[in-house]
């Protein structure tokens, strides 16, 4: 933890772009989004429509990250080429761009091919020169892949844009687990039948989802491959079998069971057999979330008289209380960087909002306020963004936000009632 902190302060104090990432530490106090020009992706007669889609998706992804300020393309001169030798950097300096992304879309042998370049304007340096290819029927996927490349070129970190979000959606009186893209598009239903299917979570390899289903009239834990296949029961013990989360090493499942009359945390093996009971309290213990190294669990306990967030070793033992404000703190999510825990809290006006606590400094940051009810945060795999639900536009939609809440994007494609979003792992 100390080493992470030292690295962060080194990045934010360093003005030399040549060393380290160009964009720098996006959670630093003095961070200003990096002014980036993304002119229209060029295409030919066959790819003109696809080029337009790639431009839109690429721009939306980069904007959503909060790391970039996408410049207004009406100001662009954009009379230069896309390749390094055909760039006119002075033109981009004159519109205030510090970075430029250029791309050319063509078709080769029935597939899409995207020649992607990114430049740092002041240094006149090529930071990305890569050919991406994609199927003609997956233009958006190609654009998300391009966004990942650009994000990595400027920040030095992998981008989260090809990853998927699992979410529960209400359909015709039932609730089902869907998988959507990071911009809420491309929704695909995973669970079939069973009435209520709730609380999805990803296996670390991104191949399957755990969820709780009432298909046998009891909240039982199931696992199902993301790309179809049958739902396999993992735990059908009497009472609750909810909120199952696979450990980062893929060997264990942390879950809430109430077989002994009270909600307690247990560790199951991957087949569903009980390995260990973790908590033994008079209050409710529920909603476990793994730390990235698998050594700790954040969870909710009402042992103090009302729900609060606690952290304990995943091998069991004493728990450390994390939240001391408010009377209703729930749904913790451990950051994949191990630095923060995000959770939902009810404030004095009975509004639900998202908070993030820094585990190093114990500093508490409020992400939402006065924007309807905001609940159930989940971290992007790079730990830089959160997805959660909001009622700010009446129906319960998804929002993607950065960790200080300064950039929040409501996913307009997420129409209808959405609950329990879970951001999946990186796509390799």
Partner 1 sequence: MAFGRGGPGPMSEINVTPLVDVMLVLLIIFMVTAPLTQQGVKVELPQTDAPAMKTSTEERLVLTLTKDGRAYLGKTEVPMERLTDMLSANEKLKQDKELYLHADQTLPYGVVVKVMAAAKAGGADNLAMVTDPVSTEAPR
Residues that bind partner 1 (CB under 8 A): 35, 69, 71-77, 79, 88, 90-91, 93-97
DSSP letter at 73 equals G
Nearer to partner 1, 79 or 172 (CB): 79
Residues 115, 193: Cα–Cα separation, whole Å: 44
* Smallest separation (angstroms) from partner 1 to the CB of 161: 24
Rg of the chain taking only CA atoms, in angstroms: 23
Report the run of H or E that residue 4 belongs to, with start and end.
Answer: helix 2-13
Strand-pairing partners, residue 126, are: 119
Residue whose CB is less far from partner 1, 91 or 327: 91
Please, what is the minimum distance in Å from the beta carbon of residue 78 to partner 1?
A: 10
355 and 342 Cβ atoms separated by less than 8 Å: yes
Please identify, using beta-carbon distances, which residue of 118 and 386 lies nearer to partner 1.
Answer: 118
Least Cβ distance, residue 213 to partner 1 (angstroms): 51
Residues linked to residue 135 through DSSP beta bridges, in sequence order: 111
String of b and e for 306-323 (b: at least 16 CB within 10 Å)? ebbbbbbebeeeebeebb
Distance CA 110, CA 141 (A): 16
Q: How far is the CB of 17 from partner 1 (least distance, A)?
A: 17
Q: How far is CA 174 from CA 88, 163, 193, 279, in A?
A: 56, 26, 8, 33
3-state SS, residue 325 = coil
Whichever of 94 and 393 has its CB closer to partner 1, that residue is: 94
Around Cβ 162, how many Cβ atoms within 10 Å? 22
Taking the complex as a whole, how short is the minimal distance between the CB of residue 66 and partner 1, in angstroms?
A: 17
Beta bridge partners of 364: 357
Q: Are the C-beta atoms of residues 390 and 397 closer than 8 Å to each other?
A: yes
Strand segments, DSSP code E, in 214-339 are 220-225, 232-235, 241-246, 252-257, 264-269, 274-277, 285-290, 296-301, 308-313, 319-321, 329-334
Nearer to partner 1, 81 or 416 (CB): 81
Per the structure block, which two tokens stand in for 189? 């239903």
| Smallest gap from residue 402 Cβ to partner 1 (A) | 21
Q: Which is nearer to partner 1, 72 or 217 (CB)?
A: 72
Nearer of residues 56 and 93 to partner 1, judged by Cβ = 93
Cβ 95 to partner 1, closest distance in Å?
6
H-state helical runs in 96-207 = 139-155
To the nearest whole angstrom, how small is the minimum distance from the Cβ of residue 417 to partner 1? 38
Tell me the C-alpha to C-alpha distance, in Å, between residue 24 and each of 21, 97, 348, 414.
5, 17, 37, 31
Minimum CB separation of residue 121 from partner 1 in Å reads 11
Least Å from the CB of residue 80 to partner 1: 8
- Crossing angle of the two packed helices 139-155 and 48-64, in degrees rounded to 10: 40
Determine contact, residues 255/297, Cβ cutoff 8 Å. no
Q: Are 169 and 147 a contacting pair, CB within 8 Å?
A: no
Structure tokens, 208: 């399957």
Q: Which is nearer to partner 1, 80 or 174 (CB)?
A: 80
In the complex with partner 1, the residue whose CB is nearer, 76 or 310, is: 76
Based on CB atoms, which residue is closest to partner 1, 95 or 103? 95
C-beta of 94 vs 295, nearer to partner 1: 94
What is the smallest separation between the CB atom of 88 and partner 1, expressed in angstroms? 7
């Amino acid at each position: 933890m100390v080493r992470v902190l030292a690295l962060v302060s080194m990045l934010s104090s360093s003005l030399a772009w040549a060393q380290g990432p160009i964009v720098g530490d996006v959670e630093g106090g003095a961070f200003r989004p990096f002014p980036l020009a993304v002119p229209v992706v060029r295409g030919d007669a066959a790819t003109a429509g696809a080029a337009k889609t790639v431009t839109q998706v690429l721009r939306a992804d980069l904007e959503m990250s909060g790391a970039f300020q996408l410049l207004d393309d009406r100001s662009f001169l954009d009379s230069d080429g896309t390749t390094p030798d055909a760039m006119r950097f002075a033109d981009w300096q004159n519109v205030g761009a510090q970075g430029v992304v250029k791309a050319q879309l063509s078709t080769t042998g029935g597939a899409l091919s995207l020649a992607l370049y990114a430049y740092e304007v002041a240094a006149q340096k090529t930071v990305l020169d890569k050919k991406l290819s994609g199927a003609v029927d997956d233009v958006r996927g190609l654009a998300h892949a391009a966004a990942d490349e650009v994000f990595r070129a400027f920040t030095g970190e992998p981008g989260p844009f090809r990853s998927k979000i699992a979410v529960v959606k209400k359909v015709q009186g039932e609730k089902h687990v869907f998988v959507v893209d990071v911009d809420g598009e491309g929704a695909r239903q995973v669970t079939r039948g069973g009435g209520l299917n709730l609380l999805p979570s990803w296996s670390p390899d991104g191949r399957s989802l755990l969820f709780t289903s009432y298909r046998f009239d009891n909240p039982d834990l199931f696992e199902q491959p993301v790309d179809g296949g049958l739902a396999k029961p993992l735990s059908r013990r009497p009472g609750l079998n909810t909120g199952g989360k696979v450990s980062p090493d893929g060997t264990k499942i942390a879950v809430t069971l109430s077989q002994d009359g009270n909600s307690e945390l247990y560790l199951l093996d991957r087949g569903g057999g009980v390995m260990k009971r973790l908590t033994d309290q008079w209050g409710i213990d529920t909603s476990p979330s793994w730390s990235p190294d698998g050594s700790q669990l954040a969870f909710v306990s009402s042992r103090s008289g009302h729900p609060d967030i606690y952290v304990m070793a995943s091998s069991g033992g004493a728990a450390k209380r994390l939240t001391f404000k408010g009377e209703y703190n729930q749904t913790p999510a451990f950051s994949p960087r191990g630095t923060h825990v995000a959770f939902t809290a009810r404030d004095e006006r009975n509004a639900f909002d998202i908070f993030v606590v820094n585990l190093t400094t114990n500093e508490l940051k409020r992400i939402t306020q006065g924007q309807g009810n905001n609940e159930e945060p989940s971290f992007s795999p790079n730990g830089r963004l959160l997805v959660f639900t909001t009622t700010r536009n009446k129906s319960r939609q998804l929002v993607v936000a950065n960790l200080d809440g300064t950039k929040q994007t409501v996913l307009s494609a997420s129409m209808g009632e959405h609950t329990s979003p879970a951001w999946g792992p990186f796509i390799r």
